[in-house]
Amino acid sequence: MATSDQEINRGVRGVLSRHWVDLTATNFASRQGVVRLIGELRRVGQRSEESLESTNIVALDAELRKLRGVRRVHLDLSNWRRDEEGQWIAVVREKSSEDAVPPGEAVDGGGAG
Protein backbone atom coordinates (compact mmCIF):
# COMPACT_ATOMS: atom_id res chain seq x y z
CA MET A 1 0.00 0.00 0.00
CA ALA A 2 1.34 3.44 -0.97
CA THR A 3 2.03 6.03 1.69
CA SER A 4 -0.29 9.01 1.43
CA ASP A 5 0.96 12.57 1.32
CA GLN A 6 -0.85 13.20 4.59
CA GLU A 7 1.16 10.41 6.26
CA ILE A 8 4.37 11.81 4.77
CA ASN A 9 3.49 15.27 6.10
CA ARG A 10 3.02 13.82 9.59
CA GLY A 11 6.45 12.22 9.28
CA VAL A 12 8.00 15.50 8.10
CA ARG A 13 6.47 17.34 11.07
CA GLY A 14 7.95 14.70 13.39
CA VAL A 15 11.43 15.01 11.87
CA LEU A 16 11.35 18.80 12.09
CA SER A 17 10.19 18.63 15.71
CA ARG A 18 12.97 16.17 16.64
CA HIS A 19 15.47 18.63 15.18
CA TRP A 20 13.90 21.54 17.13
CA VAL A 21 12.96 23.39 13.93
CA ASP A 22 10.63 26.38 14.27
CA LEU A 23 7.52 25.26 12.40
CA THR A 24 6.19 28.83 12.25
CA ALA A 25 9.13 29.90 10.04
CA THR A 26 8.99 26.90 7.72
CA ASN A 27 6.31 25.59 5.38
CA PHE A 28 6.29 22.08 3.99
CA ALA A 29 4.12 19.89 1.84
CA SER A 30 4.38 16.66 -0.04
CA ARG A 31 2.83 15.73 -3.33
CA GLN A 32 3.14 12.23 -4.71
CA GLY A 33 6.10 11.57 -2.44
CA VAL A 34 7.99 14.77 -3.25
CA VAL A 35 8.58 16.85 -0.12
CA ARG A 36 9.15 20.58 -0.45
CA LEU A 37 10.42 22.55 2.55
CA ILE A 38 10.28 26.34 2.15
CA GLY A 39 11.21 29.18 4.50
CA GLU A 40 13.74 29.88 7.18
CA LEU A 41 15.33 27.10 9.15
CA ARG A 42 15.82 28.08 12.80
CA ARG A 43 15.58 26.42 16.20
CA VAL A 44 12.96 26.78 18.92
CA GLY A 45 12.49 25.78 22.55
CA GLN A 46 15.41 24.48 24.55
CA ARG A 47 17.63 24.61 21.48
CA SER A 48 16.71 28.12 20.28
CA GLU A 49 20.07 29.54 21.39
CA GLU A 50 22.02 26.88 19.48
CA SER A 51 22.94 27.86 15.96
CA LEU A 52 22.35 25.45 13.14
CA GLU A 53 25.37 23.98 11.40
CA SER A 54 25.62 22.57 7.89
CA THR A 55 25.84 19.09 9.43
CA ASN A 56 22.39 19.67 10.99
CA ILE A 57 20.95 20.44 7.53
CA VAL A 58 22.56 17.32 6.05
CA ALA A 59 21.17 15.16 8.88
CA LEU A 60 17.71 16.70 8.54
CA ASP A 61 17.72 16.14 4.78
CA ALA A 62 18.85 12.51 5.19
CA GLU A 63 16.18 11.80 7.80
CA LEU A 64 13.47 13.29 5.57
CA ARG A 65 14.61 11.13 2.65
CA LYS A 66 14.32 8.00 4.82
CA LEU A 67 10.62 8.54 5.51
CA ARG A 68 8.42 5.89 3.99
CA GLY A 69 6.95 7.04 0.68
CA VAL A 70 9.35 9.95 0.13
CA ARG A 71 10.83 9.91 -3.36
CA ARG A 72 12.53 13.32 -3.32
CA VAL A 73 13.19 16.26 -0.99
CA HIS A 74 13.57 19.89 -2.07
CA LEU A 75 14.91 22.36 0.49
CA ASP A 76 14.22 25.96 -0.54
CA LEU A 77 15.58 27.83 2.47
CA SER A 78 15.98 31.60 2.80
CA ASN A 79 18.83 31.35 5.30
CA TRP A 80 20.77 28.43 3.77
CA ARG A 81 22.00 27.69 0.26
CA ARG A 82 24.13 25.08 -1.45
CA ASP A 83 27.45 26.01 -2.97
CA GLU A 84 28.92 24.57 -6.19
CA GLU A 85 30.15 21.45 -4.34
CA GLY A 86 26.74 20.83 -2.76
CA GLN A 87 27.77 21.99 0.72
CA TRP A 88 25.26 23.94 2.82
CA ILE A 89 26.28 27.54 3.50
CA ALA A 90 24.49 29.86 5.96
CA VAL A 91 23.12 33.01 4.34
CA VAL A 92 23.83 36.02 6.53
CA ARG A 93 21.28 38.81 6.26
CA GLU A 94 22.78 42.26 6.60
CA LYS A 95 21.06 44.62 9.00
CA SER A 96 19.21 47.48 7.34
CA SER A 97 18.53 50.92 8.78
CA GLU A 98 15.01 49.68 9.66
CA ASP A 99 16.57 47.14 12.03
CA ALA A 100 18.19 49.93 14.06
CA VAL A 101 14.85 51.10 15.52
CA PRO A 102 13.27 48.71 18.03
CA PRO A 103 9.79 47.56 17.01
CA GLY A 104 7.02 49.78 18.30
CA GLU A 105 9.22 52.86 18.70
CA ALA A 106 8.70 55.82 16.41
CA VAL A 107 11.58 57.58 14.74
CA ASP A 108 11.52 61.22 15.85
CA GLY A 109 12.77 63.91 13.53
CA GLY A 110 14.32 65.69 16.52
CA GLY A 111 12.25 68.90 16.27
CA ALA A 112 11.30 70.95 19.31
CA GLY A 113 7.69 70.75 20.52
User: What is the reported pLDDT for 50?
Assistant: 77
- Residue segments in the chain with a per-residue pLDDT below the cut of 50: 107-109, 112-113
Average predicted confidence (pLDDT) for the chain: 85
> What amino acid is encoded at 86 in this protein?
G
Helix/strand/coil for 68: coil
Residue 67: burial class (beta carbons within 10 Å; 0-12, 13-18, 19+)? buried
Residue 40 to residue 24: CA distance in whole angstroms? 9
CB 44 within 8 A of CB 32: no
Overall size of the chain counted in residues:
113
The pLDDT value recorded for residue 113 is 46
Per-residue model confidence (pLDDT) at position 107: 47
Q: Cα angle at 16 between 26 and 35, to 5 degrees? A: 70
Amino acid found at 23: L
State the pLDDT at residue 102. Answer: 54
Predicted confidence at residue 47, as pLDDT, reads 75
